[in-house]
Structure 1
């Protein structure tokens, strides 16, 4: 799919300089920048969706894990005394 993109001269120059420094084409730099942006924004959107799903589940059930329980559990990670995840409270 061919797509055109209008960008200002300053941005074109920045892309050209970076492409030269990386021994890549300006086209490759732009494709990579778009791919990285999409990856980041899709991950952000997924995080927000997961957070809203968790919030709705909490509102419906009241089940939760206290910050103290979570921190105590996380403090054991990577130690010989590593504990399993604590149970949620009602």
Structure 2
């Protein structure tokens, strides 16, 4: 699929400069930049959706961990202990 995009002269120049430094084409630089952006935004959207789903689940069932419980669990993980995810409670 061919797509066109209008860029101002400054941005075109910057892209061309990077392409020369990396021994790549300007097309390759732009394609990689767009791919990286799309992947980052997809991850951001998935994170946001997970947070919304977790909030909805909490509102429905009240299950949670306290900050102290989560911190203690993360400290164990950091120390190499993996007892599994702590059980949530009301």
Q: The TM-score by the shorter chain falls in which range?
A: over 0.9
Structure 1 residue 10 displacement after superposition? 0.2
Aligned CA-pair RMSD: 1.2
Please give the alpha-carbon distance, in whole angstroms, between the structure 1 residues aligned to 2:29 and 2:19.
6
Structure 1 residue 77 displacement after superposition? 1.3
Call closer, same or farther: CA 1:80–1:26 in 2, change over 3 Å. closer
Structure 1 residue 78 displacement after superposition? 4.6
Structure 1 residue 7 displacement after superposition? 0.4
5+ long unaligned stretches in structure 1: none
Please give the alpha-carbon distance, in whole angstroms, between the structure 1 residues aligned to 2:10 and 2:78.
49
| Structure 1 partner of 2:50 | 50
Give SS of 2:7's match.
coil
5+ long unaligned stretches in structure 2: none
| Structure 2 partner of 1:31 | 31
TM-score scaled to structure 1, two decimals?
0.93
Please give the alpha-carbon distance, in whole angstroms, between the structure 2 residues aligned to 1:81 and 1:47.
26
Structure 1 residue 85 displacement after superposition? 2.0
| Structure 2 partner of 1:5 | 5
